[in-house]
Amino acid sequence: MPAPCEFRRSVELAATIQQAWTFHGDVRNVGKISPAWQTVRVLDGNASAQVGEEFSIEIRLFGIVPMRWRGVWREVDQPNALVDEALSSPFTFWRHQHLFEALDENRTRMTDHVSYLFPGGWLGKWFGETLGRIQFHFMFVDRQKRTARWLRENTPA
């Protein structure tokens, strides 16, 4: 199996580090920040991430193509990091690190660091490094904008 592909992108959020961490630690919020071309429905999962806790979501690409996703929280370091991995998904491998860094009392840098591998061996690796990376760029730009907007509009000053 080839080594996983890597994707990393950061955004500055107008929220405390704790607010940003709490929002992302609640799997039920994933639908609030998903791009318009992905409908996400949480099938099960709790409001606060715990190491070893599993969750399930259904993603519909363009409202049509259903994909089931079962994940687990591998690392929970409040308020600095959350790490989830896919137990079953469209990927051969998926590990998503949500990293949080306080910039000051009311601003946080959040970094999404994803290690992933599409099925198909070296062909999947090539796809992940090319078209997959482009897709992730647009998806995470959109997700991070939605996260920033949601926190700005729903978090007390």
Show the domains of the chain with their CATH numbers: 5-26+73-154 (3.30.530.20)
pLDDT at 157 over 80: no
For 50-101, write each residue's pLDDT tens digit: 999 999 999 887 778 888 999 999 999 999 999 999 999 999 999 999 999 9
Element (H, E) at 31: helix 30-33
| CB crowding 66-87: b at 16 or more within 10 Å, else e | eeebebebeebeebebbbbbbe
Average pLDDT over residues 122-140: 87
